[in-house]
Structure 1
């Protein structure tokens, strides 16, 4: 329990630091300053939203009778933001293509995979790596 609390505090501090850096960057670009209280409020809101996201992802996986969060769970989480959903879908497709290319190269190098009608090898392709829930 103590280790979990310490990890949570480290994550909270990392979020606060990152929010501070982003506020500084935006402030320089827009020629405005963010108060320490504003940065702390944004950081706390961000941290709590991340906790909510983690809980939702875990529940989506459990609802699907899985112990692993997959890309479909992440897409379901992002469903209310069309731009975010589009971005995540494109990234998933890019990763799947990249993984397929890497597996094809590996299969050709090791001589494993299914033979296509043109004589080339076609590796078995699976979706990108998932995250396992403890």
Structure 2
């Protein structure tokens, strides 16, 4: 196992640990923005670099579109974290996260749905 893979795996474990703690404390009934703020706060408190609502430009040939695309959280410039509060994930949610990963050159994404009874049922780990 490479050092880079180990670091990313440990980092994703740390993100998920805090997501579970927040879900346990707050339950599934809040807005996505509340979970995003709480998770960013916890990760920052752990000393991680967290960017909220990070702009993700779309570049096609000579055209650069800066508006419209924003990652919920980018952790340590390595992991895309997209948060949802939906009844269930759709293909669009997965495609959105994968697109952000491709546009930014990121290899791991965590799609987390806080509107579930048990958070383990609301996590998708996406790898490029």
TM-score (norm 2): 0.34
Tell me which structure has the larger Cα radius of gyration.
1
TM-score (norm 1): 0.33
